[in-house]
Structure 1
């Protein structure tokens, strides 16, 4: 009886160990990987150093990749999200301003660079809306999804816009 119980337990362990779920589609998009989006409203780049720190609601994995997008307007009722870094030039081709960022496991630091940031229109400095998208780094390196296209990233991860975490 002990041998029968041992064999049954061994078969059960082997059977349960082989249960995996892989929701990847034919294009290689990983549909069972979790991505997150954090939205920050009323972001102001102030004259002290034109830098803002966007703290996450929780730490992310060291293997995660962070993408930052800025709401730059809308067209026919659809939001236009531009990826950072984002650069604007004067008519003569010289740098007017640039948004850029770096990130840690705990926050993203978004900053403006330029020659006369105090003279930049307040529409570029005040009341900005930014979205931080956290995805696994392996997806970013091995994917055919255009990471510069916010809508393509959201679609690839099946991100439900109603579940975006508002900060």
Structure 2
């Protein structure tokens, strides 16, 4: 029996080494909603940030989570039409820009432009946004530049985000 033990140990070690791969995918369950709706958003003005709206996440994000924000521009049938921000709207009054930034604790949406935005309150009040979190598990396969090229539907499909569990902040 003592003579078989080293061979048995060698066999088990070899089996483990040859059957484990470094690139095996790890399945990670995201324990927070990955899509949030923001309804009836009203931008407020301050001298530092201009027109802005901020919100905190209920739980801090992981360091490699990405945030992508869409503004509802209308509907097609009964379905909302989403437009990714940053976005520039070219209006008769001038240019209106929507932009955002985020940290793992919160995000801020900004509205700025080449004219007095208070003259077009329809673009500052009662706005609807959708905040999409691309979980950190996909961080190695996603960059902000890649995400900027994708529509809402493409992001949901590509990163297998469960759209049926839309949360609120």
TM-score w.r.t. length of structure 1: 0.72
TM-aligned CA distance change 1:144 to 1:126, over 3 Å: closer
TM-aligned CA distance change 1:143 to 1:70, over 3 Å: closer
Q: Tell me the residue number matched to 2:110.
A: 111
Deviations 1:139-163 (A, max 9, x none): 3239977744001111112222221
Q: Distance in 1 between matches of 2:139 and 2:165?
A: 21
Q: Tell me the residue number matched to 1:36.
A: 34
Q: Is the 1:147–1:153 contact (alpha carbons within 8 Å) kept by the matching residues of 2?
A: no
Q: Is the 2:66–2:144 contact (alpha carbons within 8 Å) kept by the matching residues of 1?
A: no
Q: Secondary structure at the match of 1:47?
A: strand
TM-aligned CA distance change 1:61 to 1:40, over 3 Å: same
TM-aligned CA distance change 1:148 to 1:142, over 3 Å: closer
Which structure has the larger Rg? 2
Q: Tell me the residue number matched to 1:46.
A: 44
1:56 aligns to 2:54 (yes or no): no
Q: Secondary structure at the match of 2:153?
A: helix
TM-score w.r.t. length of structure 2: 0.72
Select the residue among 145, 158, 161 that pairs with 1:159.
Answer: 161
Q: Is the 2:37–2:130 contact (alpha carbons within 8 Å) kept by the matching residues of 1?
A: yes
Q: Distance in 2 between matches of 1:156 and 1:143?
A: 15
Identify unmatched segments of 5+ residues in structure 2: none
Select the residue among 18, 21, 25 that pairs with 1:22.
Answer: 25
**Matched residue pairs, number?**
157
